Amino acid sequence: MRVSYLGTSESAAFIAANSVRIPLYSESMKPSDLGKQPEDKSVDLNALCIPNPTTTFFVRAQGEPMEREDIQTGDVLVVDRSLTARHGDIVIAFEHGKMAVMTLQLKPDVLLRPKNKAYAATVTPIVEDEASSLEVFGVVTSVVRQLERG
């Protein structure tokens, strides 16, 4: 699955100054509770999705879906470059100059898996230098999807 770069997040100061807390209701609420502010239950989507604003960027997924990870074409992926990728993480990798979404496998061999049955895993050694044909660029931390309406 390929991705297109959408841009970086704003600075931490900008995000803090423009924070919007949205009420968070539980499944057990009554319809009459809508519109009432729940006690100490709200969420700031910036704080939830962007813990490291200076190292976070966004990409839009394109092409074949990552079927086993439920990442679909059109999804916006939140990517953090400050995280060290671990076994099983979904990552953004540069392979021959193109960004792609893959799952990092560290055991028993180091390789990237596309999580789509139509593609084989990439066995190219992962190194972080300019001569490399494959580079892990960041870890996907969140997926944002707009649902289609009726």
Local confidence pLDDT in tens for the 150 residues of the chain: 566 666 566 666 776 777 777 777 666 666 666 666 655 577 888 888 888 888 999 999 888 767 667 888 899 999 999 999 999 999 998 877 778 888 888 888 778 877 666 666 655 555 555 555 568 889 999 999 988 888
Strand partners, 76: 60, 144
Question: Do 101 and 71 contact (CB within 8 A), yes or no?
Answer: yes
Domain count of the chain?
Answer: 1
Would 65 be classed as within a structural domain? yes
DSSP 39: T
Task: Determine the pLDDT at residue 121.
Answer: 60
Phi, psi (deg, nearest 5) at residue 49: -100, -20
Q: How remote is the C-alpha of 115 from its chain's centroid?
A: 15
Would 97 be classed as within a structural domain? yes
Instruction: Report the CATH number that the domain containing residue 87 is assigned in CATH.
Output: 2.10.109.10
Question: Do 120 and 126 contact (CB within 8 A), yes or no?
Answer: no
Phi, psi (deg, nearest 5) at residue 17: -70, -25
Q: Which domain holds residue 121?
A: 2-9+55-144
pTM of the model: 0.74
Would 129 be classed as within a structural domain? yes
Would 35 be classed as within a structural domain? no
Task: Determine the pLDDT at residue 96.
Answer: 72
Would 100 be classed as within a structural domain? yes
Would 27 be classed as within a structural domain? no
